[in-house]
Structure 1
């Protein structure tokens, strides 16, 4: 009879997400994971199958968290432009508050893997598609309410917002403060 698991797999995935986010996939060894999770190598392989499988779980967790946080802000009440502004502020503040300036795990992963891993790229692209879809829905709502010009292409505007978010996340990794990001947010929302 095997010994019962001595760790919480959900907590382990959360901790692994932090490690991969801080170091990247390539720089994270199985030993790094074992040390960070406080488990034995056997437990790592028995519970998750290995580094790659644990990375997939960690990336999925990150993507779900990001999607739900943005969706919650966009689904709120109030004027559409203010909800969009709040969502962009949320992203900027979260990135700037991170003392390690890790940026976005999805973007970091896309840059690290490039187009070499279809499974990883499909997960990242799925996150981008969901966020862009949420932006598109809110923009269409704003168009129906007369807050955004109905003659504008909602899909193109949603793409602009997604690109803005991704650019902001990269800028937050190297910029020393919020001023530039706040200007980008205000200008982008005003352009709508």
Structure 2
């Protein structure tokens, strides 16, 4: 007879995400995980696999549950540049207002695990590629709609904005200077005019 789990795997995965996001991979021990998730080691392994597998699942959950999703925001019908500007400003606001200094879990994973952890690198690169493609598609639409000058390169601008957005996430890990963030995004947004 199969035994039934006495815990909610979805809630446990969310708890693991929260712990990894706050503490990082290396400083989170199996003991920390079992205590925080409220499950035994055998249950953790049976449900999620290794600590590394659980970390990968937490990263994937993080990507699935971001709100609002940048891709959705950039793919809305209508004028494009206001959505791009709103996205850049949102990243800056999140960096400035993150009192816990958790930053972005994807950026945290990149800084902590890359380049040696190829599985995490694939998740991070995929997330960055997805955002870059969404930005490039949005900026291509903006150019076609006459919002962006015809001589602007949507792909190059998308790559630039991706780097700026990830830089804002890195700045958010420390004690970001709001004026520094404001000046940086103002300069980035000038390129969209």
TM-score by length of 2: 0.91
**Contact between 1:71 and 1:134, CA under 8 Å: does it hold in 2?**
yes
Q: Is the aligned partner of 1:165 residue 2:154?
A: no
Structure 1 CA distance, aligned partners of 2:32 and 2:150? 52
Q: Which string of whole-angstrom CA distances, capped at 9 and with x for unpartnered residues, describes residues 155-183 of structure 1?
A: 11000010010011111222345333233
**Contact between 2:98 and 2:172, CA under 8 Å: does it hold in 1?**
no
Which of 145-154 and 127-136 deviates more? 145-154
Structure 1 CA distance, aligned partners of 2:70 and 2:135? 9
How many residue pairs end up in the alignment?
Answer: 192
- Residue 140 (structure 1) aligns with: 140
**Contact between 1:12 and 1:37, CA under 8 Å: does it hold in 2?**
yes
The 3-state SS of whatever aligns with 2:151 is coil
Structure 2 CA distance, aligned partners of 1:57 and 1:183? 36
- Residue 127 (structure 2) aligns with: 127
Alpha-carbon offset, residue 47 of structure 1: 0.8
**Contact between 2:114 and 2:120, CA under 8 Å: does it hold in 1?**
no
- Which consecutive unaligned segments of at least 5 residues does structure 2 have? none
Q: Output the aligned Cα RMSD.
A: 1.8
The 3-state SS of whatever aligns with 1:27 is coil
**Contact between 1:67 and 1:127, CA under 8 Å: does it hold in 2?**
no
Q: Is the aligned partner of 1:3 residue 2:12?
A: no
- Residue 54 (structure 2) aligns with: 54
Alpha-carbon offset, residue 111 of structure 1: 1.3
Structure 1 CA distance, aligned partners of 2:93 and 2:12? 26
**Contact between 1:67 and 1:130, CA under 8 Å: does it hold in 2?**
no
The 3-state SS of whatever aligns with 2:87 is helix
Alpha-carbon offset, residue 78 of structure 1: 4.2
Q: Is the aligned partner of 1:45 residue 2:45?
A: yes
TM-score by length of 1: 0.92
- Residue 88 (structure 2) aligns with: 88
Which of 37-46 and 132-141 deviates more? 37-46
Cα 1:123/1:53, change in 2 over 3 Å: same
- Which consecutive unaligned segments of at least 5 residues does structure 1 have? none
**Contact between 2:95 and 2:176, CA under 8 Å: does it hold in 1?**
no
**Contact between 1:85 and 1:186, CA under 8 Å: does it hold in 2?**
no
- Residue 64 (structure 2) aligns with: 64
**Contact between 1:74 and 1:134, CA under 8 Å: does it hold in 2?**
yes
